[in-house]
Structure 1
Amino acid sequence: MGHHFELQKDIELAATPDQVWEAIATGPGLDSWFMGRSEVEPREGGRSSLTMAGHTEEATVIAWEPGKRFANRTTPGPDGGFLAMEYLIEGRDQGSTVLRLVQSGVLGDNWETEYEAMKAGWDMYLGTLAAYLAHFPGRTGAPVAAFRPQAGTPDQVWAAVAGAFRIAGPIEEGQRVRLTVDGLPPIDGVVDLAGLPTYVGVRTDDALYRFLHSGTDRGNVLVLGHHLYADQDPAQAEQAWQAWADKLPIA
């Protein structure tokens, strides 16, 4: 039997309502900070889609109020499960904006694990949205993803990632990192997100790099979800990052 849920997150963003709207209600905008690749038909009743790891999930746009409110909802499955997303935009003084995210729907038997994963995941993605709007306004990011199932426990994975970052000890926000990925230019940046044991983010002058651990109950998957804002071949970068994830020495 399905379980109804609702999850709400608020964040203040250093951007205008129009900039936030472009980021949350258009395909190129979503590609610049969210998971996978998105398409949005710009009207109420239109279709939206999210493609990730070869799977596409489609939804119907149920609210379209530019600069104010955007919402969509997937078609219920045979078990009654569905997901609905609503973004509410409120402009504030001095050009800032408060964004309220409301996600709701029906989850299956393992709903507690899925719910906790969504809560942690949204903290990372909204942090990425804030970084995108603050540091890369007006630019479009190309999404790059890689996956390593059964990578190891969180402690094992983050120790390996810290080693790759050339960090001795725990990963903390503000630390400088240097990372080498075969086939790509050297990466010099700063840790801008440290939501351990779930996620870590690194910001450079031309990219946002995101590393996520799914949790033991969800297969110990190491997920890489990056956004490139420079002139770089996303397909080549994706191949290089997949090879990096596959070869990462996890003890």
Structure 2
Amino acid sequence: MSKNFEIEREVVLSATPEQVFAAVTDGLGGWLFPGSPPPADGTPDESGTRALVWDAPNHLHTRTDGEDGWFNALEHVIEARDGGTTVVRYVHSGVFADDWDTQFDAAGKHTDFYLHSLGQYLEHFAGRPVTYVAAPGTEASQFPGAVDKLHAALGLTSGSEPGDKITLDVPGLAPVEGEVDYLEGQFVGIRTADSLLRFYAREPWGMPVAAAHHVFAEDADAEAITKAWNAWLDGVYA
């Protein structure tokens, strides 16, 4: 049965309102996934998404409408604060058609990770060209406790926490040296000198473990990086 939902968050970011607005419009590939905003004048784009409010750099509200009352809307209210920071009031609303509780739980927890990644992008990589790499994982990782196997492969233990240094050997890539920047529930974030590595252990929501990385190195080879991370995930869950 279809039912409306609303997810609200408020975050303080180390960036200007202009940088935040750029990140949530033209910079999505640096922290979320590649995408383009709809036209600022309210004209729908090819997907039917339109801007209800486009008031740069203070307010962005977009919405996509579908059949039988379905919709998906994202709103960012952006306000400068003292000390060079910005507060963002974020609202994601819409309709879930099936298994409402599971979808709401997944969306809320993904939201927290995404907004954290937005903060990391703004603090360390804002405005830099990015190569987005997605390794979707296989059904072999879709089992209870898959997150524990992911943690072990990443060298994480029950005592690990954000700020810990980490080194990974990923065949086909140079050694990965970075710092844990997010470790919460089903999600792991690792920041290196030139990338944000994001891992999603999605088995509680009926999906496989996946990786989605944002690489800011100028010479990044998307095909080679994708192949290496897919092989790494396959090896973890072989």
1:181 and 1:202 map into 2 onto residues whose CA distance is 14
User: Which runs of no fewer than 5 residues in structure 1 stay unpaired?
Assistant: 50-56
Q: How far apart are residue 238 of structure 1 and its match?
A: 1.4
CA contact (8 A) 1:58 1:74 kept: yes
SS state of the match for residue 230, structure 2? helix
For residues 48 and 213 of structure 1, do their structure 2 counterparts lie closer, same or farther at Cα, with a shift above 3 Å needed?
farther
1:15 and 1:48 map into 2 onto residues whose CA distance is 29
TM-score, with structure 2 as normaliser: 0.91
Q: Counterpart of 2:217? A: 230
SS state of the match for residue 38, structure 1? coil
1:84-95 equivalent positions in 2, closer than 5 A: 84-95=73-84
Confirm whether residue 60 of structure 1 aligns to residue 60 of structure 2. Answer: no
CA contact (8 A) 2:39 2:50 kept: no
CA contact (8 A) 1:48 1:72 kept: no
- List per-residue Cα deviations over 1:145-204 (Å, max 9, x = no partner): 11124314453x2332233223344542122111121211110011110112x2010011
User: Which runs of no fewer than 5 residues in structure 2 stay unpaired?
Assistant: none
CA contact (8 A) 1:10 1:99 kept: yes
1:116 and 1:105 map into 2 onto residues whose CA distance is 14
For residues 211 and 75 of structure 1, do their structure 2 counterparts lie closer, same or farther at Cα, with a shift above 3 Å needed?
same
- List per-residue Cα deviations over 1:89-147 (Å, max 9, x = no partner): 00111211001111111111311111110100011000000011111133132211111
For residues 89 and 182 of structure 1, do their structure 2 counterparts lie closer, same or farther at Cα, with a shift above 3 Å needed?
same
For residues 48 and 89 of structure 1, do their structure 2 counterparts lie closer, same or farther at Cα, with a shift above 3 Å needed?
farther
Which has the larger displacement, 241-250 or 97-106?
241-250
CA contact (8 A) 1:154 1:220 kept: no
RMSD of aligned residue pairs (Cα, Å): 1.9
1:149 and 1:249 map into 2 onto residues whose CA distance is 8
1:152-171 equivalent positions in 2, closer than 5 A: 152-153=142-143, 155=145, 157-169=146-158, 171=160
Give 4+ residue runs of structure 1 displaced > 6 Å after superposition: none
Q: Counterpart of 2:15? A: 15
CA contact (8 A) 1:16 1:97 kept: yes
1:223 and 1:48 map into 2 onto residues whose CA distance is 29
CA contact (8 A) 2:189 2:197 kept: yes
The AA in structure 1 aligned to 2:198 is R
